Structure 1
Amino acid sequence: MPLTFTLDPAITPALRDDILDLWTDVSNAGGSVGHVPPVTRDEIRPGLVRHLVQMAEGRTRLLVGLDETGHVAATAFLTHNSHRLMTHWIWLYTVMVHPRYQGRGYGRDLMAAAADAARGLEGVEAIRLTCRGGHGLERFYASCGYKEVGRVPDAIRVAPGDDRDEVVMLLPLG
């Protein structure tokens, strides 16, 4: 069953908790969303609070994908660039699909919904995102139309002796 995507849903306690659970589950499954397993909800919470504050300030938009039961199965945060010379593109952060739904095409659906949402934003011509090297994520994003435009070797240290590249990807919307 396909996910139902919504941009800028009302932030209820249930939605907030669903996102927190999703982020924790994705992180603990090895997902590259800012943490290294094992993590707890309490360790994830400050990152979610930062996104929620940016949403309240009007800098960030939330895209959620709900499963057939109405629970959050996927998310992405679209963040306006604050540099006045770079307002023609946005950042895509914290792109997640719950591990139980991976392999069903929901990641590709999420990326298409994010591109559609970005096309609806005035003056936005492209989406940038970064991903952690070593997981093949750049191949997934490339299959969604993104191009690798930069790479910082060993920028991400997931553990002592385990450094990964930060890969910068771009999707022109034109």
Structure 2
Amino acid sequence: MPDLIQLTDRSDVTPALRRGLIDCWTEVTGGGTGLAPVLDAIITRLHPDRERLLLALSGAALTGWVTLTRDPNPLITHWGSVNHLQTRPSHRKRGVGTALMTRLHRIAREEMHLDQLHLAARGGLGLEHFCSRLGWREAGRWPKALHLGPNERQDEVLMVLSPL
């Protein structure tokens, strides 16, 4: 079982940790440009009331991570968005993703006082099944919404966890 650490302030993210997050993301997605600016935006937004970063560690090695964000829109401040669930391929099937999502659920309910969680997952990778085992249900689907390459499109699956 991994050790889980929650970060709520950008000063908690060291340069080495930032590099580890990018390396993990690169492994999960197969690379790509533009990951560093997106990660830097996440780090900049870290705040106990709005955005949290949850890390999974095995010893000193980062094995996975996920973010939880509260929307500032007053109509929907009662729900959170789960984004960037990453588990290093070498650590899959070891409970890292389940541990991250289980702790995230507890943080959302007990610390952020949210009522429900939303996420969007790439269809066709088994993520819907993974999430449904944890109590999530499919709320909708955007057919072929994700453009992953010139001739590759996949559904975006919208999922909800409610009540917390």
Report how many aligned residue pairs link the two structures.
161
The SS at the match of 1:45 is helix
Give the deviation of 1:43 after TM superposition.
3.2
In structure 2, distance between residues paired with 1:54 and 1:48: 10
**1:96-135 correspondence to structure 2 within 5 Å:** 96-135=86-125
Q: In the alignment, which of 141, 145, 165 is matched to residue 155 of structure 2?
A: 165
Structure 2 residue 1 is the aligned partner of structure 1 residue 11: no
In structure 2, distance between residues paired with 1:155 and 1:126: 24
**1:1-174 correspondence to structure 2 within 5 Å:** 2-8=1-7, 10-28=12-30, 38-39=31-32, 43-55=34-46, 59-68=50-59, 70-174=60-164
Residues 108 and 122 of structure 1: CA distance in aligned 2, closer, same or farther (over 3 Å): closer
In structure 1, distance between residues paired with 2:87 and 2:163: 23
Runs of 4+ aligned residues of structure 1 deviating over 3 Å after TM superposition are none
The SS at the match of 2:124 is coil
In structure 2, distance between residues paired with 1:56 and 1:46: 18
Tell me the amino acid that sits aligned with residue 11 of structure 1: V
Residue identity over aligned pairs, in percent, reads 31
In structure 1, distance between residues paired with 2:83 and 2:40: 14
Q: CA RMSD in A?
A: 1.7
Contact 1:115 1:173 in 2 (8 A): no
Unaligned runs of 5+ in 2: none
Q: Deviations along 1:47-103, whole A, 9 cap, x unmatched?
A: 1011112216963111011112x1211100101112211111100110011111001
Give the deviation of 1:120 after TM superposition.
2.2
Unaligned runs of 5+ in 1: 29-37
Deviates more, 1:71-80 or 1:159-168: 159-168
Deviates more, 1:120-129 or 1:18-27: 120-129
After TM superposition, the score normalised by the length of structure 1 is 0.85
After TM superposition, the score normalised by the length of structure 2 is 0.90
The SS at the match of 1:158 is strand
Tell me the amino acid that sits aligned with residue 53 of structure 2: L
